[in-house]
Each structure stands twice: as C-alpha cells, then as structure tokens.
Chain A
Amino acid sequence: MMLQRIVPVTFREEIAENVFVLRFECNEIVCSASPGQFVNIRCGDACLPLLRRPFSISRVLGDEVELLFNVVGQGTRMLAGKRVGDSLDVLGPLGLPFNFGADFKTGLIVAGGVGVAPFPFLTSVLRKKGKRIVTFLGARTASQLAPTHLDDIHLATDDGTKGYHGTVVDLLRSYLDQHRVESPRLFGCGPTNMLKALTNVAQEMNIECELSLEGDMACGIGLCQGCPVERTKGERKYALVCVEGPTFNSKDILIP
C-alpha cells in the first residue's frame, strides 16, 4: 500500500564521484517495500522544482530506507544537500517489484552507472531465497563505480580505468561465453542504450530478462498518463511505467 509521509533524513554521504547515499526513517515503507519499487520525493518545499523526483529503493536496513543517486539537476542537487535531521516528503512504495519469486537459480544482475540503485535490495532478497547471484557493474570511469552490498561483482569501465575495458553488457557477454550458468534470469537497470543491448543479449541467449525503466514522471501514481512505454503485444499500445512498471519483462516492452 502506498503512503505519503514526512520522514527524517538519517544519513547522507557521497560514496563515489557524484554518487550519493541518503537514508530516511520510515518503518511503514520498509514493511511494505519490495525490490524494484520506488519512492517519489519532494526535493524542495516550494515550486522549484515543482514535481516530485522518483528514486529506486536501494536498500532497507532496520527502519530505514536507503537511496542511491546521481546529482543531475536541481532536484537531485537539493536532495544531496539534505542534512541528517531534515525532513523529507515521501510517497511510496510505488510501482511493481521485480519478479524475484520466478523459477530460476542464478540471478544475473546488470547495472550501468547509478542504475545499480535497486540492486542491493534485490540482492538481499535473492540471498534469502538461496539464489546464486552474479553482478555486472559498469560506469564511465573507476571513480563513478559504487559496488556496495552486492554479490560476486564484475566491474567494467568505458575508459578501462578499472575492471573490464568496455561496456557492462560486453562484459556480461564474455562472461556468458566462458561460464555455464545454471538456470539464469537477468535483472537490468541503467541508461537506455545499455537496456537495449541487454535486451538483445537476453533474446539471443534465450534468458528471461527484467528491466527497471527510468522515464519522465509527473505523478508516479497513475494520475497523469505521462509515463508511457510502448508494449510489444496486447491490446493497448502503451503501458504506464509508474504503475505497470518500472520493472518489465524485456519481451513485453520496446525500449525507445
């Protein structure tokens, strides 16, 4: 059930270049959240920025919810400027979680940049379910990598400053070429180009793949119809990312 709460910030730190961790306390959201869901946050208290900003739930610890984000504009800059004790207006948990209960043995997690955000939470739940996890994490350069609370991490950087020199999807490909993975399922989040490449890998190798999308949202709760993604089948042309996603099976949607 979604809730709207004013909650206190309990932690804030820059853990990698332009990568911030922020925690707030909200037992009710912790209790009803699942990996892949997000919260919608009012970053300022006036009209700039006007709309809430969506962030994946990165981790839950005790009564706290942790977010992981990049500063890209005004809203995230204001969020990064929050201090412990400040209050936040939060709406969540929103959207549909990853289908982590599906029948598979190995979770292959593929994240580009801050797309890693939802995966610490997913990792903790998959661990409890006794799944094997292999994580592929890519960034432009070493200083932007944030490999925290993940299992069996394989790194890639576009500039070769750390790990595999190339994209994270190329790293995944070479891993799959060299290893036999038992009953895999892919989970991906990151920039659009990465999601496209990942969808191709999933299709070629016939692996089920779930993606978490980041679209533009005005409301995050199904009121505005502002967040369509094109569907591959079914009667309706579009699905709404905020209420029918943000997680989708890669076969069900067309990445723009």
Chain B
Amino acid sequence: MVKESFSIRGVEFKNRVLAASGTFGYGDEVKDLVDVNRLGGICTKSLSWKPREGNPPRRIVETPSGMLNSIGLANVGVHHFINEKLPYLRTLDTTIIANIAASSVQEYCDVLSLLEQQEGIHGYEINVSCPNVTEGGLNFGTDCSKTEEITVRLRPLTNKPLIIKLTPNVTHISEFARAVEDAGADAVSVINTLIGMAVDIRTKKPRLSTVTGGLSGPAIKPIALAKVYEVAQSVHIPILGIGGIMTTEDAIEFLLVGATAVQVGTANFIDPTAGVKIAEGLRAHAEQNGLQDVGQLVGALESHVAFSVIQSWL
C-alpha cells in the first residue's frame, strides 16, 4: 500500500491532489460526473462578505493552450455559502478549504471569523489577488507588506490551516512566500493566474470586458513550475503547486520541484474527473516505481544548481 496522504497543521488530506478555487464551484455542480470524495481536497470558489455579481461579459477568452478569465470574483457571498452550499460540503468525505477574497483587511478577518463558527471547514486559503478598495484599489497580492499584514491579522483568528495563495505577478515571489511564512502561514499556494490580454483585430477592441484578465491552463505550466521551484528554495512550509496541471506527469513535475501537493484548475473545465484521475495516476506511479509514499517525490529534483531561475542570464 502506497501512502498518499499528507497533512498541514494536523489536518489530513487523503491524497495530494486538490481542486483549485474558482474551477470547481462549491463541489455540488459536478456530483453527477465525479466522485469528489476521491479528491485530496476542494478549495471553494473565493468567498467575500457580500455576494459579488462579477464583471460584465465577455469573461472568457481561449488563447493558445490556455484561457484568460475576468470573472471578477463572482460569488454567492459567505452567508449564502454557509446556508446553501456548506451543508452539502459537510456530507463529503474530503478536506474542505474555504477560499476567501476581500477588498479590505477587515473583510478578510470578518469572513474568516464567520466561517470559523461553522462546522465542516477544515482550513482556509487566502486569495490575496484582490484590489484593496480602501487604499486606492492596488492589488494586495503585489504588495509584500499588505500580504504580510493580512497573514498577521488572520493568524490569531484560527487554529486551522491558513494557506496564502500567492500571485505570480510580482518580481520575486519568494519574498512574499518568506514574508507570509514569518507571519505564521501554514502553507502557500503557488500560483494564481498571470495577467494577460487578447485583442480582436477586426474590432480593435480588447476581447475581455476588463481589458486584461488572468491566464491559466497548460500555457502557464512552465512559469508555475519555476515559481514553485523558487519558493521551494526559500521557505520550509508546504507548497501547493498550481498552474496548467492536466496530467499525472504534470503533477509529478510539480512535486519534484518542491510542491507538497498540487491543485488542478482549468483542467476541470475540460474534464471534471481530471483531479481524481491525477490522484490515481500518482498512486500508480508510486507503485510502479517502488515508492512507499507519494511524498517521496516531493523535492526530489536532481539539480546541482540552486536558484538558477532567478540568477541565470537569459
């Protein structure tokens, strides 16, 4: 028997594949198609204090091997989530991570505190890729001191795993990872989407209503791997690797460069069973290679050159 599970702050995940926030709804949308209990965990769509309508259409554009989205964090709001979505999630036998998005530090605290009073949530993932409305709309996630402040403020509010989801749209993501590790985060999720853009040359207009959006899918996998590698060189807390994972082989690459586990996002849109297939693929890979624990793959990269990502001449 191969060991598939791992834990963060004492909370166990039955395997190393989670569904990424915003790509798996609240778990109930796909119950006809996939046995979600075979996932290591589910990260909910980002939750804010009030429901958010989201951005006007067009919100989705396909690009080569990827997609741009500008959903605008459309979500049902934390109260509706607690009343309408959480009861179903409670019936599941997998680890439920509530992802939180907010437009002020106080809102992050309020949402987390309210969720803290509920049964059935095993941990939190904090989406810091949000405009800070109280301070001019600058993205929290691209400001290291703000990202740190959010972590410092949230840490005392919970004993459950606190995972900070980092944006790659910064110069050195490892600085952000170190800052949140020092501030008490239990893990980091790496990466959220990359800023991208597409133009309709006939109308000469941007294809997305918001001009730019978040790029995801296989197109971003090499970048995501380099970011996970960079973070793995600089922190000791677990890393949840995210970005363009479609297959078991993709997931193994992330584990090798230092991810403790992975999250599958865009792949769910094409195949809602992708996460379950990858989890099974990881177990099969471990069996075939005589490993007792899938975790033996974590950080097993054979490279003599440390930090080559950020120090090499390109």
What residues make up the interface of A, taking CB atoms closer than 8 Å to B? 1-4, 42, 47-52, 89, 91, 215-219, 221-230, 236-238, 243, 256
Contact = CB atoms under 8 A, between A and B. Distances in A.
B57 A228 contact: yes
Contact of B22 (A1, A52, A224, A238): A224
Given A219-B268, A224-B269, A225-B22, 6 more contacts: A48-B65, A50-B65, A218-B60, A218-B69, A225-B74, A229-B57
Nearest to B29: A222
A225 B59 contact: yes
A116 B229 CA distance: 52
Contacts of B33: 2-4, 91, 221
A226 B60 contact: yes
B100 to A, nearest CB: 17
DSSP majority for the B interface?
loop
16 contacts: A4-B272, A42-B270, A49-B62, A215-B57, A216-B61, A218-B67, A219-B269, A221-B33, A221-B272, A223-B23, A223-B24, A224-B23, A225-B71, A227-B59, A237-B53, A238-B53
B273 interface: yes
A51 B67 contact: yes
Contacts of B53: 236-238
Given A228-B56, A229-B57, A51 B25 contact: no
A256 B269 contact: no
Contacts of A4: 33, 271-273
Interface string B271-296: 11100000000000000000000000
Contacts of A228: 54, 56-57, 59, 74
A230 B58 CA distance: 12
Contacts of A47: 65, 217-218, 246
B60 to A, nearest CB: 4
Interface of A is mostly: loop
Nearest to A241: B57
Interface string B181-192: 000000000000
A51 B272 CA distance: 12
Contacts of A243: 29
Contacts of B135: none
A51 B64 contact: no
Nearest to B69: A226
Contacts of B65: 47-48, 50
A115 B270 CA distance: 25
A219 B218 CA distance: 16
Contacts of A48: 64-65
A52 B269 contact: yes
A212 B25 CA distance: 24
A224 B60 contact: yes
Nearest to A49: B62
Contacts of A216: 57-61
Interface in B26-82: 29-30, 32-33, 45, 51, 53-54, 56-62, 64-67, 69, 71, 74-75
Nearest to B273: A4
Contact of B29 (A52, A223, A226, A256): A223
B250 to A, nearest CB: 11
A166 B218 CA distance: 45
A52 B64 contact: no
A223 B32 contact: no
A256 B56 CA distance: 10
Nearest to B217: A50
A229 B59 CA distance: 11
A73 to B, nearest CB: 9
Contacts of A2: 32-33
Ranked 10 nearest A-B pairs via Cβ = A226-B60, A219-B269, A237-B53, A47-B65, A222-B29, A225-B74, A218-B60, A226-B59, A225-B71, A218-B269
A47 B66 CA distance: 8
Nearest to B34: A4
Of A217, A228, A236, A243, most B-chain CB atoms within 10 Å:
A228
B29 A217 contact: no
Contact of B71 (A1, A3, A222, A224): A224
Nearest to A256: B57
Nearest to A215: B57
Contact of B62 (A3, A42, A50, A225): A50
Contacts of B58: 216
A50 B67 contact: yes
Contacts of A224: 22-23, 60, 69, 71, 269
A237 B54 CA distance: 9
A219 B29 CA distance: 11
Interface in B223-271: 246, 266, 268-271
A2 B29 CA distance: 10
A50 B30 contact: no
Contacts of A51: 62, 67, 269-270
A176 B66 CA distance: 47
A227 B58 CA distance: 8
A241 to B, nearest CB: 9
A223 B64 contact: no
Contacts of B271: 4, 89
A225 B55 CA distance: 10
Nearest to B62: A51
